[in-house]
Amino acid sequence: MLRTLSIRDFVIVDSLELEFHPGFTVLTGETGAGKSILIDALALALGERGDAAAVRAGCERADIGAEFDIEHLPELGQWLRAAELEGDPGSILLRRVIDRNGRSRSYVNGRPATLSQLREAGEWLVDIHGQHAHQSLLKADAQRVLLDAHAGLAPLALEVAQAYRHWQKLAQARAEYETHAARRNAEREQLQWQVQELEQLALLPGEWDAVQAEHTRLAHAAGLIEGVQAALNVLSEADAACLPLLSGTGARLEALLGFDARLREALELIRSGEAQVQEAVYALRHYADRLELDPQRLAAVEARMQAIHGSARKFRLEPEELPEHLRQLQARLAELEVASDLEALVKQEQQARSGYFELAAKLGAGRKKAAAKLGKEVTRAMQDLAMAGGRFEVGLNPYPPEGSVHGAEQIEFLVAVNPGVEARALARVASGGELSRISLAIQVITSKAALVPTLIFDEVDAGIGGGVAEIVGRQLRTLGRERQVLCVTHLPQVAAQADRQWSVSKSGVEGRVKTAVSVLDRKARIEEVARMLGGTEITATTRKHAAEMLSLR
């Protein structure tokens, strides 16, 4: 559940620190005081889109943080660990910062996170029902999503959508094959000879550099042999070679050390030079032993270079690019070989179609059961909301035989507001007030089945009043025994049913608008409910009425 909400420089709020409790809490106040703005701020912390308009005038940034108790949400804890975003045990802190240029930053437990991660975490925590929710209920997509979510069928609906897209992709591949078979065959034939030629060439990665180096060495073998032998003569094999001279010089100086030790440094340098010259002689002899004139090998290497050059010119590539080009050609040829098997394509398409309809049938059965249950529950709620004899149904209209991405049936909410009449589409039958009541009934019922611990109703009771409003308040209070319920309302009958009541007010401070939130005690609640009952002029009668309403909770 929601523990705290911290708001800084958001719209008309300069600074608020709010602490929340379990049960049913209402936010009341004059129109325009900023009640819904608090919900908007929380929505931003939960990952809703925001822009520079969220920043209070004259400020650098808006900063919103929300802390939740997640002790009873082990799945969210697992998600946090997997995403490396875990924080203190049993809690989560979501934070959103939007600067005056519209740039947004998101944090989960103090760690930078993406907006999608913030939104995904928020889906575990809060359901917000806005005051215009009844408008979305007129849309077929919203009706389908709501029924599937209420029945726990959303994962299966996603499987159905994926299966349908897979089937359609294969059907498109089969149709394209039949349409473009000649072109595909021509491409495949061209690729076959290209791959065959490059496979025969069998150029390995890095081989081109090695061939070039070997060609250079073979082509200059005579000069290399002559140069190495000349070096050996100078160093060790000629009459006046360096190595014997260094050795003799070192021996003579060594004999003189007994007369003057200062010769030791020079002797050590000569001995070092002698050792290095000896190493050079060994290296040159080893090289000379392996070096020989090999005209046949030179001819073979030149032929290999010509073959590589020829293929590179033909494919308009650099020689070293040929191995990767062969890999790409082989991959494309494999694709065409698979696509060229019409019989296999048809078989795969049929299997995908069967898989889709199997899943769609399972989804349809679940929807049928859920539709009947939801229809009964909403119909029962309508009797309590001054719609006696009214009836709510969920229609399942079959799609054409080939189905759709959403399954084999279309969802349609139907209503009969009077007894004995045929149920018709919600949008065509219900008036504004009736639609508000039906929408509220649906939201309360579907919220009971939801797993999220916190439910927020933002003026969803618009368009109702009197005894119906009292019933709505009781329903929300009952819901508050199971969940944390927050409700923005203008109705005293709803406010009187709450466990706690907060008053949201707006004032001008030094030419700037400021919003404040007060937690009301019993006496203050009587005054606030009396204001909601009687408007600007509060009388002893309205106070007495307000006290009675609060006593009857």
| Residues 120 and 242 grouped into a single domain | no
pLDDT tier at 509, thresholds 50, 70, 90: low
pLDDT tier at 367, thresholds 50, 70, 90: very high
Q: Which residues, 6+ apart, have CB-to-CB distance to 28 below 8 Å?
A: 35, 488, 489, 490, 495, 501, 502, 503, 504, 528, 532
Q: Which two tokens stand for residue 7?
A: 């708001």
Ranges 47-56, 201-210, 322-331, 433-442: which has the least confidence: 433-442
Quick check: 6 pLDDT over 90?
yes
For the ranges 33-42, 106-115, 430-439, the maximum mean pLDDT occurs at 106-115
Radius of gyration (Cα) for the chain, nearest Å?
Answer: 42
Task: Using alpha carbons, select from 546, 460, 542 the residue that is nearest to residue 497.
Answer: 546
Please, where are the H alpha helices in 342-399? 342-384
Is residue 296 a part of any domain in this protein?
A: yes
| Residues 211 and 293 grouped into a single domain | yes
pLDDT of residue 5: 94
Give mean pLDDT, residues 220-227: 67
Give mean pLDDT, residues 537-547: 86
pLDDT tier at 32, thresholds 50, 70, 90: confident
* Sequence letter at residue 399: Y
Ranges 16-25, 148-157, 200-209: which has the least confidence: 200-209
Please, where are the H alpha helices in 105-241? 115-125, 133-136, 140-150, 154-179, 181-201, 207-219, 221-232
pLDDT tier at 449, thresholds 50, 70, 90: low
Quick check: 451 pLDDT over 60?
yes
Is residue 355 a part of any domain in this protein?
A: no
* Strand runs labelled E in 194-317: none
Q: What is the largest CA-CA distance in the chain?
A: 136
Instruction: Please state, in angstroms and rounded to a whole number, the distance separating the CA atoms of residues 97 and 107.
Output: 9
pLDDT tier at 221, thresholds 50, 70, 90: low
pLDDT of residue 155: 92
Instruction: Give pLDDT tens digits for 386-426.
Output: 788 889 999 999 988 889 999 999 999 999 888 888 888 88
Ranges 193-202, 229-238, 360-369, 380-389: which has the least confidence: 229-238
pLDDT, greater one: 510 or 409: 409
pLDDT of residue 246: 83
pLDDT of residue 142: 81
Tell me the backbone φ, ψ of residue 302, rounded to 5 degrees.
-65, -40
Tally DSSP H helices, then E strands, for the chain. Answer: 20, 15
Write the CA distances from 223 to 213, 237, 360, 456, integer angstroms.
Answer: 16, 19, 81, 90
Q: Residue 178 region, left (φ>0) first, then alpha (ψ -120 to 50), else beta? A: alpha
Could you tell me what percent of the chain has a pLDDT over 90?
A: 31
Give mean pLDDT, residues 287-298: 68
pLDDT tier at 382, thresholds 50, 70, 90: confident
Show the 3-state SS of 467-497. Answer: HHHHHHHHHHHHHHCCCEEEEECCCHHHHCC
Give mean pLDDT, residues 90-108: 94
Q: Which two tokens stand for residue 124?
A: 């575990």
pLDDT of residue 536: 67
Is residue 471 a part of any domain in this protein?
A: no
pLDDT tier at 432, thresholds 50, 70, 90: low
Domain boundary among 335, 362, 396: 335
CATH of residue 5: 3.40.50.300
Which domain range does residue 89 map to?
A: 1-126+500-515
pLDDT of residue 463: 67
Tell me the backbone φ, ψ of residue 63, rounded to 5 degrees.
-130, 120
| Residues 119 and 205 grouped into a single domain | no
Domain boundary among 287, 312, 335: 335
pLDDT of residue 156: 96
pLDDT of residue 242: 85
Instruction: Give pLDDT tens digits for 343-361.
Output: 788 899 999 999 999 999 9
Task: Using alpha carbons, select from 497, 498, 515 the residue that is nearest to residue 506.
Answer: 515
Q: Are 134 and 438 in contact (CB under 8 A)?
A: yes
Q: Which residues, 6+ apart, have CB-to-CB distance to 512 below 8 Å?
A: 14, 57, 58
Q: Are 66 and 44 in contact (CB under 8 A)?
A: no
Give mean pLDDT, residues 138-147: 86
Is residue 552 a part of any domain in this protein?
A: no
Quick check: 216 pLDDT over 90?
no
Write the CA distances from 102 to 13, 34, 56, 75, 147, integer angstroms.
Answer: 18, 21, 12, 33, 36
Give mean pLDDT, residues 476-493: 88
Give mean pLDDT, residues 366-384: 92
pLDDT tier at 293, thresholds 50, 70, 90: low
Quick check: 514 pLDDT over 80?
no
Q: What is the pTM of this model?
A: 0.60
Is residue 405 a part of any domain in this protein?
A: no
Instruction: Give pLDDT tens digits for 314-329.
Output: 888 888 888 888 899 8
pLDDT tier at 376, thresholds 50, 70, 90: very high
The pLDDT mean for the chain works out to: 85
pLDDT tier at 118, thresholds 50, 70, 90: very high
CA atoms within 13 A on the CB side of 272: 6
Is residue 178 a part of any domain in this protein?
A: no
Quick check: 488 pLDDT over 80?
yes
Is residue 407 a part of any domain in this protein?
A: no
Q: Which two tokens stand for residue 188?
A: 């495949």
Give mean pLDDT, residues 148-170: 93
> How many structural domains are present in the chain?
2
For the ranges 373-387, 433-447, 535-549, the maximum mean pLDDT occurs at 373-387
Ranges 166-175, 377-386, 535-544: which has the least confidence: 535-544
Quick check: 496 pLDDT over 80?
yes
Domain boundary among 335, 356, 389: 335
Instruction: Please state, in angstroms and rounded to a whole number, the distance separating the CA atoms of residues 233 and 253.
Output: 25
Q: Using CB atoms within 10 Å of the CB of residue 322, give its burial: 0 to 12 exposed, 13 to 18 middle, 19+ buried.
A: buried
Instruction: Please state, in angstroms and rounded to a whole number, the distance separating the CA atoms of residues 127 and 452.
Output: 7
Is residue 305 a part of any domain in this protein?
A: yes
Instruction: Please state, in angstroms and rounded to a whole number, the distance separating the CA atoms of residues 540 and 294.
Output: 120
| Residues 3 and 120 grouped into a single domain | yes
